[in-house]
Structure 1
Amino acid sequence: MGCDDEDNGDCNCVLPPPEVVYSVEFTNGSESLEAGDTVLIDNKQVVVERIQFYLGDITAKRGDSSDILIREVEFFSLDNAPEDNQFIRTLAEGDYTGLDFSVGINEMLNQGNTAQWDAGDPLSTSNNMYWPMGGYIFSKFEGRLITDTVISVIYHIGREANRRDLTFDENFSIIEASNVVISFDVQKLFGADGGTSINPATQNETHTMNDPQHAGIIADNYANALSVTFPQ
């Protein structure tokens, strides 16, 4: 039952839980990033053409068995309009201790029948994030290194071993409509701030199966590239 101006305090109001907007932003260090931008990686010019990834099992933590699964999977892309890199869900009022999610999707979804997903669904094959013989591609980076010649830089990462489960611990409270911002920093993908340094001139390609070791490094750096800003 809702409330109106004539309740005079006598209504046993049941208000809907607040809405929370979960959005992904792409950055180049402290600057915003758009498809087609040129970034400096170890003094090398790289044109960023595509960044895409799945986030799976997005969960608001309460520190006990009452953790709340917000979304099983979402798909984000650098070339999306901002409103297409966000989703809105209600979240019960109260105190939370952080957010969990994975870069990639869980094994059940990865092995599922792709025919069940309509166009527009995160798992639709129309997103070109699926290998018929290998399951979903969890993350993509595509670009060009500008030198005397143009070198393609392509990282397509999939397979169960390359899913990365992340935990972001920070106490926050939901009492009204709020925003949670997940940021992806392309500098960290190439090793900034604690990642493994990647030279795009010599380590410029992996489709996972052709170079599993390099794929694992990219998967680790992808995880390191993500951060979360919680409601204040």
Structure 2
Amino acid sequence: MLLIETLFIVQIFIFVFFPTMKEQNKLVEGINNCESEIKFEKVLIKNDSEWDAALQEVYDIIKGRSDCKFGVTDFQKISSSYSKSRQTLTIKPKFKQDISILNVKKAKTDGYAKELKKVVDSWPKNLSDIQKIEKINDYIIGKSDYYYEVLNSAQGDNMTTKNGFYYYSWQAIMDEGKGVCEAYSSLFKRMCELCGIECETVSNADHAWNRAKVNGEWKYFDVTWNDTTNKPRKYFNLTQAQMAADGEH
């Protein structure tokens, strides 16, 4: 279940207002440190449309960076202010949870990241990319159960694990072995990146899955449905046409 409503999205981000890695790193570092204001100088914004586009880039960076310890569901809102005379854009993240919970989440996230790296590093070094993805698929299926209660709850995206992770995040699976499709797809993407495999999230109004580059070709994977249908290879290594054939992807 997604917080966005769109027909079809492949998350490919092009940054205009935060074009350099230095700027993006500054944003991620500020988010990870739970700063209330993150200032960027020499940013030229001409109108409200560009202002909105700059704020959208902030969300895109948060979604796209695996080293960002918080996801979009962690924020009550992210606002901004702009000084035209100084060409200074100030990003103002407002978290849903207090600092004590956020600090626990940061520490846990670091631990879970190390745990995933150990898992990947334990695999034979001569595996092909598709063999690595098989192991990723099987690891996530063995680790997680789909958490239907999130969809059935009036709380929706406010439901969290005992350590404060929203069930839309990959950390929820590591924390409690539960999550919804966004958690599955984000964990799949993270593990692919650890294996050096290019991977992106694909989504529509109701669901999220992945595509990964195998032998130079994009192939599609849906670990959530591989788990919930109890057929671990049903939505695995498919072409876009094969994935879309059911009318729900």
Give the TM interval when normalised to the shorter protein.
under 0.3
TM-score (norm: length of structure 2): 0.27
Indicate the structure with greater helix content.
2
Larger radius of gyration: 1
Q: Larger % of strand: which?
A: 1
